[in-house]
Amino acid sequence: MKEIKVAVIDDSPFSVAMLSNMLEENGFQVVGSANNLQQAVDMVKEQNPDVVTMDITMPEADGIECTKALHKINPDLKVVIVSSMMDDEIMRKAKRAKISGYVQKPVDAEELTLTIRRIMADEELFAELEKLYYTVFKEALTDTFNKFFHSVPEYRDEETANIEQTSRGISAVIGIIGRYGGRMILDMSTETTMAIARKLFKIEQPTKEHIINVIGEISNIIAGNACSMMNKSNPLFGLRVAPPTIVYGESIKISKSELNTVTSVKADTSFGEIYMNIGFNRGECE
Amino acid sequence: MSNKYEEAFSNTFLNIMPQFGIEDIALESQTECGSKINAPGVVCIVGVTGELHGNVIFAMTEACAKRIASAMMGGMPIEAFDEMAQSAVSELGNMLAAGACTYLEVMGIKADISTPTLMHGDFAVQASFEQVTCLQMRISDTFFYIYVSLERN
């Protein structure tokens, strides 16, 4: 594991010295410290730490405001609140400000060390998931089409923009649960789903039930296979899928999601266009 | 057939809404409905796995969604069901489902939830199982629906 760069932000020079020593003794590289907002901004710009410890009560700008300012410089910066006071109100604000962890003063060295190591290990695991998931889901879609229809979809360029989508007519939504929560959406026109149903059920006029069944079954297989492959790659993901919910109608808008990572792709199949959208959430501080 | 775990969802709703200043609320009715749901305008779908698996679908009219979003944002007036309002309703779905999971855990049932998916427009929803329980929650003169489509593992 690479050396973790930590900086200490606290208005008390005593706390800065104590925390810096504690961190260094426990194998972290302490790259800087700051006593107020301006110093913190300058220090983060110059030293680019992975993690900062943050006092909650500081003159001028408090720890939450300070965190927001630092996240503007580096959105991936991990912030651990180190404070003597903590109540529900602060906790709510901390969650909204995307704080990664919390340690109460007086600080226990082991607790602080574990908190930072856990945050960084989690960061690596999420980065691994981010690198992997799109390829795996695409592969699962390709495999499913290849097995059922002996044809392989042609993919257009993937998109990572998280924006509202208009459904083509019928959409399967599958919730994903595990170390990271997420969901997959498979969307296609009624005509495309009909064509698939005709082929699979070997009937001329599929009913609404056939159509709903087909998109549900296909999305279930794709998501299930993809999650198995992900878990095989790293069991820590522990992904499972919920059964599909099917949405169909004249006008469906799929809202922009509250997800940390989203990738979507349009695939051209012999039945028509299929849109697949997968996203995961990093989860919040515990 | 009624299962005790549905109360986790209605009670969580009754506990959470007053936190946003929405006080005039009640469980109006609990009925078994088919798996086809006519969406009233806005739905939030959450997947569930664990000792219970399936989906929970929160459904409401756009007017109701705007009202709740406004209350969640401290009474800020909401003209359109825009990104901000959608984000608030999505967060509500997450809070209600997560709250219900905590409630279930106290009852000795372990379940986990996926991230919510929010959809709006004019459409129908097909739930994952034949048996769906509809919890009709009253908010003053309007309704918020919780469709529980879950099976025991």
Instruction: Tell me the domains of chain A and their CATH numbers.
Output: 5-107 (3.40.50.2300), 126-280 (3.40.1550.10)
Note the ipTM here.
0.92
CB-based contact A165:A252 (threshold 8 Å)? no
The DSSP bridge partners found for residue A275 are A187, A266
- Could you tell me the pLDDT band of residue A92, with boundaries at 50, 70 and 90? confident
What CA–CA distance (Å, rounded) separates B64 from B84?
15
Q: Angle at Cα B16 formed by Cα B116 and Cα A99, nearest 5°?
A: 60
- The CA–CA distances, whole Å, from A90 to A105, A125, A127, A145, B144 equal 15, 28, 29, 50, 31
Contact B124 A248 (CB under 8 A): yes
pLDDT at site A284: 52
A239, burial (CB in 10 Å: exposed 0-12, middle 13-18, buried 19+): buried
| Beta carbons of A155 and A266 less than 8 angstroms apart | yes
Q: What is the pLDDT of residue A1?
A: 57
For residue A254, the distance in angstroms to the closest alpha carbon of chain B comes to 5
Which pLDDT score is estimated for A270? 94
pLDDT digits (tens, 9 = 90+) for A18-40: 999 999 999 999 999 999 999 99
Phi-psi region of A27 (alpha: psi -120 to 50; beta: other; left: phi over 0): left
Q: What is the pTM of this model?
A: 0.85
**DSSP strand pairing (A5-9 vs A51-54):** parallel
Q: With an 8 Å Cβ cutoff, are A247 and B123 in contact?
A: yes
What's the rounded Cα separation, in Å, for the pair B22 and B43? 20
**Most A-contacting residue of B60, B123, B151 (CB-CB within 10 A), to test interface:** B123
Map residue A180 onto helix, strand or coil: coil
Query: Do the chains contact at A258 and B125, CB–CB below 8 Å?
Result: no
Report the Cα–Cα distance between both ends of chain A, in Å, rounded: 24
Say how far apart CA A73 and CA A37 lie, in whole Å. 13
Give pLDDT, residue A94. Answer: 82
Mean pLDDT of A45-69: 93
- pLDDT at position A285 over 50: no
Mean pLDDT in chain A?
93
From B46's Cα to the closest Cα of chain A, the distance in A is: 6
Q: Which residues of A touch B112 (CB under 8 A)?
A: 177, 181
pLDDT in the model for residue B153: 83
DSSP-assigned states of every residue in A257-276 = P--SEEEEEEEEETTEEEEE
Which residues from chain A sit within 8 angstroms of residue B115, using beta carbons? 175-176, 181-183, 257-259, 279-281
Which pLDDT score, from 0 to 100, does residue A282 have?
Answer: 85
The 3 state secondary structure assigned to chain B is CCCCCHHHHHHHHHHHHHHHCCCCEEEEEEEEECCEEECCCEEEEEEEEECEEEEEEEEECHHHHHHHHHHHCCCCCCCCCCHHHHHHHHHHHHHHHHHHHHHHHHCCCCEEECCCEEEEEEEEEECCCCCEEEEEEEECCEEEEEEEEEEEC
Q: Which of B55, B81, B115 to mutate to test the interface with A (most CBs of A within 10 A)?
A: B115
Quick one: which of B36, B58, B35 has its CA closest to B46? B58
Question: Is B69:B62 a contact under the CB 8 Å cutoff?
Answer: no
Average pLDDT estimate for A205-222: 95
In percent, the amount of chain A with pLDDT more than 90 equals 83
**CA B23 to CA B13: how far, in whole Å?**
11
Query: Nearest-CA residue of chain B relative to A177?
Result: B114
Q: What length is written for chain A?
A: 286
Q: How far is B99 from chain A (nearest CA, A)?
A: 15
Q: In angstroms, rounded to a whole number, what is the distance separating the alpha carbons of residues B1 and A264?
A: 40
Residues B2/B33, Cβ–Cβ less than 8 Å = no
- What domains can you pick out in chain B, each with its CATH number? 6-152 (3.40.1550.10)
Q: pLDDT tens for residues A102-123?
A: 999 899 999 999 999 999 999 8
Least confident piece of the model among A47-56, A81-90, A214-223? A81-90
pLDDT of A164 over the 60 cut: yes
Rg of chain A over all Cα atoms, to the nearest angstrom? 24
- Contact list in B for residue A177 (CB cut-off 8 A) is 47-50, 112-114
Q: Are B107 and B60 in contact (CB under 8 A)?
A: no
Q: In this predicted model, what pLDDT tens digit does every residue of A123-139 receive, in sequence order?
A: 899 999 999 999 999 99
Which amino acid type is present at position A127?
A
Q: Which DSSP string corresponds to A8-55?
A: EE-S-HHHHHHHHHHHHHTT-EEEEEESSHHHHHHHHHHH--SEEEE-
Q: Rounded to whole angstroms, how far apart are CA atoms B122 and A253?
A: 9
Contacting residues of A for B125, CB less than 8 Å apart:
245-247
Task: State the best of A183, A240, A247 to mutate against chain B, taking most chain B CBs within 10 Å.
Answer: A247
Percent of chain A with pLDDT over 70: 99
Put simply, the answer to whether B117 touches A257 (Cβ < 8 Å) is: yes
Render each residue's pLDDT in chain B as its tens digit; 153 residues: 446 899 999 999 999 999 999 999 999 999 999 999 999 999 999 999 999 999 999 999 999 999 999 999 989 999 999 999 999 999 999 999 999 999 999 999 999 999 999 999 999 999 999 989 999 999 999 999 999 999 998
Q: What are phi and psi of A68, to 5 degrees?
A: -60, -40
Place of tokens 């009640």: B26
Helix axes A190-201, A208-233, angle to 10 degrees: 90
Top-confidence residue, A3 or A245: A245
Q: Which of A244, A249, A256 sits opposite B122 (nearest CB)?
A: A249
- Predicted confidence band of residue A286 (pLDDT cuts 50, 70, 90): very low
The confidence score (pLDDT) of residue A58 equals: 86
Spatial separation of the C-alpha atoms in residues A281 and A262, rounded to whole Å: 9
Residue pairs between chains A and B whose CB atoms are closer than 8 Å: 130
Q: Which residue of B has its CA nearest to A212?
A: B126
Query: Of the candidates B135, B134, B97, B133, which has an alpha carbon nearest to the alpha carbon of residue B115?
Result: B97
**Window from A62-66, A88-92, A277-281, B104-108 with minimum mean pLDDT:** A88-92
Name the residue among A280, A281, A278 with its Cα closest to residue A159. A278
